[in-house]
A = this chain, B = another copy of it.
């Protein structure tokens, strides 16, 4: 299929998509959050091809979202456990799930409900700015080139008019 690689693009969305943006990877991660750890469990739960699963698990281990841990010798058996990096991806899946609940669930209502034990309510997942606690919507934000934006591209990006450039230098 010859994919375009996004990993080096000056955009955290593109980089994330490059890592996790195929059809199976987010679902493998979802299963990991369900507590699934073993190859066959993933395979049965998702109905994914075993070779594809091998590849995705390998990629997630390589990206350090999962860790391959030996849990028995003779025969050697490993399980895949979430790393800190992987655990931190949960909010993204939660936001995705929320969007799907709202726009794709239809009459029937959400297939899975998330209960927030900290407060005892069903979690009403919202993406907010932690400074003010208000929702982050497109209309509330402006974008600016950050320190990680490649100097070579700054001029071009500034000319595109899509970013603020009120920042003195980098």
Contacts and interface: CB of A to CB of B under 8 A. Distances in A.
Contacts of A16: 96-97, 99-100, 104
Contacts of A59: none
A111 B11 contact: yes
A148 interface: yes
Q: How would you classify the secondary structure of chain A's contact residues: helix, strand, loop or mixed?
A: mixed
B118 A134 contact: yes
A73 interface: no
Interface string A84-118: 01011111111111111111111011111111111
On chain A, which size bracket covers the interface?
Answer: 35 or more
A82 B47 CA distance: 34
A27 to B, nearest CB: 6
Nearest to A36: B162
A17 B27 contact: yes
- List 9 tightest A-B contacts by C-beta distance, closest first: A12-B100, A91-B127, A119-B132, A109-B147, A108-B148, A10-B111, A113-B146, A16-B100, A124-B130
12 contacts: A1-B1, A11-B111, A33-B138, A88-B102, A91-B95, A109-B146, A110-B148, A116-B141, A117-B140, A121-B131, A126-B127, A128-B128
